[in-house]
Amino acid sequence: MKNFVTRLAATAVAVVSLTAAAHAFDPGSTECIAPANPGGGWDFTCRQAGKTLQDLGLVSGTMQVINMAGGGGGVAFAEVVNKRNDANNLIVAASSATSTRLAQGAYPGNTMDQVRWVGAVGADYGIVAVAKDSPINTLPELLEMIKSDPSSVSIAGGSAVGGWDHLKVLIAAKKFGIDDVRTIKYVAFDGGGEAVTQLLGGSVQAFTGDASEAKGFVDSGDIKVLAVLAPERLEGDFASFPTAKEQGIDVIGANWRGFYAPGGMSDEAYDYWVNAIGTVYDSAEWKDVMAQNGLAPLDMRGADFQAFVAESVDSITTISKEIGLIQ
């Protein structure tokens, strides 16, 4: 009870502080770009954070969510850099998929330094799943099928080829003993929602994505989770699903979720958004969202988050070279 009261008081102080700051800066009609079609992880990040910003009174009115699919997030990134560089009312959902594409030079002419990194709102652990009626019941079974006959299994994900969803499967395959991971058939879609739809339609045999974007399909019973790529079992609705590590495959795939803002955003506006997203993360409301959607803690803001993303880009570049995705 004491911890709850302390947390509640801290949230109240943060809200009062941010409200005071809002008198000096008001972003006006706020927008969040989700760089994929509805139903995926970026869409989830925008909509859930936007709702919490509204519920806490941190933004005026309703935050508009704009779905801008294409290029594994590249279309949205280019739009922000080239056309909305000085927008003070805009934030963009980002994740490990964003840093992966930046690390691999997949956003032509764009680098992470062209935008301002606002903050993280949690980490979303990866999953590997199949349709509910699939004869496959474990991750080793799936990987053994791939090892025996790579052409027999196609795996769908919501990131582009070489993106984070793709990388997670390749890393797991390497751990399992599949030496030439280039033989794995990965099919890219614009967002996890579309990838799961293809799985349910029978076009592919497995799905690689994150816990939050699969939550609705888990609740409906449409998919069967073979493994969660976390160091230990998640709490809540995902507690019944085994980790890859439990099945003898020591791989962890954590997808951070957060936001970036236009590079030309004013310092006043940037500070506002860093405080606003930080207040969302600290709130009891967001803790409930995290628990309900399999998000694990990750608290990074402002300069710390900027440094974290830079380190992520560097490490992903190294991994990508090791598995032959880039030179």
Residue 189's CATH number:
3.40.190.10
Q: Which residues contact 196 (CB under 8 A, 6 or more apart)?
A: 39, 156, 207, 209, 213, 214, 217, 222, 223
Round to whole Å and give the CA distance between 279 and 256. Answer: 18
Q: Is residue 243 part of a domain?
A: yes
Residue 252 and residue 231 in contact, taking contact as beta carbons nearer than 8 Å? yes
Residues 130 and 243 both lie in one domain = yes
pLDDT of res. 210: 87
Residues 146 and 95 both lie in one domain = no
Give the tens place of pLDDT for each residue, 40-60.
Answer: 889 999 999 999 999 999 999
Task: Show the domain range for 216.
Answer: 125-247
Give the tens place of pLDDT for each residue, 193-223.
Answer: 899 999 999 999 999 998 878 888 988 999 9
Return phi, psi of residue 187, to 5°.
-115, 120
Residue 270's CATH number:
3.40.190.150
Residues 310 and 165 both lie in one domain = no
For the whole model, what pTM was predicted?
0.71
- DSSP assignment string, 68-103: --SGGGHHHHHHHHHH-TT-SSEEEEEEHHHHHHHH
Residues 159 and 308 both lie in one domain = no
Residues 263 and 292 both lie in one domain = yes
pLDDT of res. 114: 98
Round to whole Å and give the CA distance between 294 and 215. Answer: 8
Which of 192, 218, 247 is the last residue in one of the domains? 247
Residues 237 and 308 both lie in one domain = no
Q: Is residue 217 part of a domain?
A: yes
Q: Give every residue of the chain whose pLDDT is below 50, as ranges.
A: 2-14, 16-23
Residues 280 and 299 both lie in one domain = yes
Q: How many structural domains are present in the chain? A: 2
pLDDT of res. 24: 60
Which of 205, 220, 247 is the last residue in one of the domains? 247
Which of 213, 247, 281 is the last residue in one of the domains? 247
Residues 53 and 201 both lie in one domain = no
Q: Is residue 327 part of a domain?
A: no
Q: Is residue 316 part of a domain?
A: yes
Q: Is residue 50 part of a domain?
A: yes
Closest among 5, 28, 9, 32 to 277, alpha carbons compared: 32
Q: Is residue 105 part of a domain?
A: yes
